[in-house]
Structure 1
Amino acid sequence: MENNLMQMEEEIVKALRTVYDPEIPVNIYDLGLVYDVDVNHKTGHVVVTMTLTSPNCPVVDFLITDAQMRVESVKGVKSAEIKLTFEPEWHRDMMTDEAKLELGLL
């Protein structure tokens, strides 16, 4: 059971890595926008807590809808909820090294 949960979480992360902010050529996971992925293995419900690079992000609806659809496409996921938070506030240090390299920050 534990192995299945880990595999599902890995697949969810892979799915989140296919969601891109149209204004930034890096996926939301590597940008550090995803704070938490909570999987209820019994119900198949997933809650993703994430933020935005800016509270005034013009593509917020697109990102949330895209993330939800991608997570719900993962085998074993019955439903997904995307929770938006601005605590803690996002900053560049949250990005992976790959994202920083892609954006010329390393």
Structure 2
Amino acid sequence: MNQEDVQDLGDKIVVVLKSIFDPEIPVDIYELGLIYDVMVNEDNDVKILMTLTSPNCPVAETLPVEVEEKVKTLEEVKNCEVEITFDPTWTQDMMSEEAKLELGFL
């Protein structure tokens, strides 16, 4: 898999991530800044490092599973693993300009 293919797959993964919304905030998890890293290895195994808006987030159990399942629907993806971290802790500063605008913070 060449660099261009990896970039294409990365872009496709971002599109999938942008289709997943935080249930409490009408903004997708990517624009919210919950996705810290997306790694793709040469075998097309994907690892996503993400956080939640809070450790007590009501979807702490289901959101990572939803991310894994949706990313796995991409034909090129062999496997997907989601790791949750709270380091660094999520803050509103991590939201994209688009998310801040959507939520009236700008």
The answer, yes or no, to whether TM exceeds 0.5 is: yes
Q: Determine the structure 2 residue equivalent to 1:71.
A: 71
> What is the total number of aligned residue pairs between the two structures?
105
CA displacement 1:40-83 (0-9 Å, x = unmatched) = 1x211100000011011011122111111111112210110000
**Which residue of structure 1 lines up, in the alignment, with residue 38 of structure 2?**
37
**Partner Cα distance (1:105, 1:75) in 2:** 37
Alignment of 1:80-91 (within 5 A): 80-91=80-91
Residue equivalent to 2:20: 19
5+ residue gaps, structure 1: none
Secondary structure in 2 matching 1:57: coil
Q: 1:37 corresponds to which letter in structure 2?
A: V
Please, which moves more after superposition, 55-64 or 24-33? 55-64
Secondary structure of the residue that 1:98 maps to in structure 2? Answer: helix
TM-score, normalised by the number of residues in structure 1: 0.95
Q: Which amino acid aligns with 2:3?
A: E
CA distance in 1, matches of 2:3, 2:32: 28
Counterpart CA distance in 1 for 2:48 and 2:105 is 27
Deviations for 1:11-35, whole angstroms, at most 9, x for unmatched residues?
Answer: 0011011111111100000000000
4+ long deviations beyond 4 Å: none
RMSD (CA atoms): 0.8
Identity of aligned residues (%): 48
Which secondary structure does the structure 2 equivalent of 1:18 belong to? Answer: coil
Q: Any residues of structure 2 matched to 1:86-105 within 5 Å, and which?
A: 86-105=86-105
